[in-house]
Structure 1
Amino acid sequence: MNGPVFLAYDYPVLGAFWTVLFITLATMWFILLFRVVADIFRDHTMGGPQKALWLICVLCLPFLGVFVYVLARGGAMGEREARRDAELRQAMSASAARTGAPSGTTPRDLDELAKLADLKAHGDISEAEYAHAKERILH
């Protein structure tokens, strides 16, 4: 090659558009695939043989298996996810209530409080330092 190479000329805007579109659709497809597989494992209403059949369908014939699963059981996927989120929120609230933390405390705050309690128990920090750090985390 004797002259300069113009990359924009070699890769037109429409080609870039199709590439971005393909990457976006492929990403959405994999997200849907993983959500379906996770839903199969989390669904407690199905027995083992049913789960195995759905997994075989989804993994051997991915497009057809996922679309059939979404058509057959897709409406309940959202309900199961909402129920799971509610259960996790209740468990987090119960955990916060057991530790005496305020209701707005996040799991990260609870972890930090546990680490502080460990430090205090091992004598690495004083009572005043513990109280100050605990106050800072809770407020």
Structure 2
Amino acid sequence: MVAADYPFLDVLWTMLIIFAWIIWFWLLITVFSDLFRRHDTSGFAKVLWIIFVIVLPFLGVFIYLIVNHDGMTQRTMDQANAQRAQMDDYVRNVAGSGGAAGEIEKAKGLLDSGAITQAEFESIKAKALAAS
């Protein structure tokens, strides 16, 4: 009985309104997170932007997006590149430090420094390859 009182177009309209609110809150979070991670803006300017966005939310967010869209993109790309570089360094450190390749690399360093002989290097190499 309840479904008969709520036509299909009203359901679609309600869904549209809900999605619009979700997008609106996503925009607010994006603007505030970009504003707080900026290093090129003074604290006073950040406070003015916050007041502007709180007092006139739609106008404040849209003007911030228009004025700072290039900077937002650049800051997001810089952050993604920094995270990617950090992950790549972590993977290299973890992958390079273990396993047969790591043991052989250490043994080669010892051989090059003269700490071990060629026969000892071959023995370490054979053990590392047999273990893997």
State the partner residue of 1:82: 77
Aligned residues: 97
Cα-to-partner distance string for 1:26-82 (whole Å, 9 max, x where unaligned): 100100110000000111111111111111111222111101101111232112101
State the partner residue of 2:40: 45
What is the CA-CA distance between 1:97 and the residue it aligns to?
A: 3.0
What is the CA-CA distance between 1:96 and the residue it aligns to?
A: 2.9
1:101 maps onto 2:95 in alignment? yes
Distance 1:24 1:95 in 2: 39
Normalized against structure 2, the TM-score is what?
A: 0.67
Q: What is the aligned counterpart of 2:4 among 3, 6, 9?
A: 9
Q: Report the secondary structure of 1:101's partner residue.
A: helix
The gaps in structure 2 that reach 5 residues or longer are 97-131
Distance 1:64 1:21 in 2: 21
Between 1 and 2, higher relative CO (CA 8 Å, sep ≥ 6) is seen in 2
Distance 1:60 1:101 in 2: 52
State the partner residue of 1:35: 30
Alignment of 1:56-135 (within 5 A): 56-98=51-93, 100-101=94-95
Greater share of residues in helix: 2
The gaps in structure 1 that reach 5 residues or longer are 1-5, 103-134
Distance 2:80 2:55 in 1: 30
Distance 1:88 1:94 in 2: 10
Normalized against structure 1, the TM-score is what?
A: 0.64
Identity, in percent, stands at 38
| Residue identity opposite 2:15 in structure 1 | V
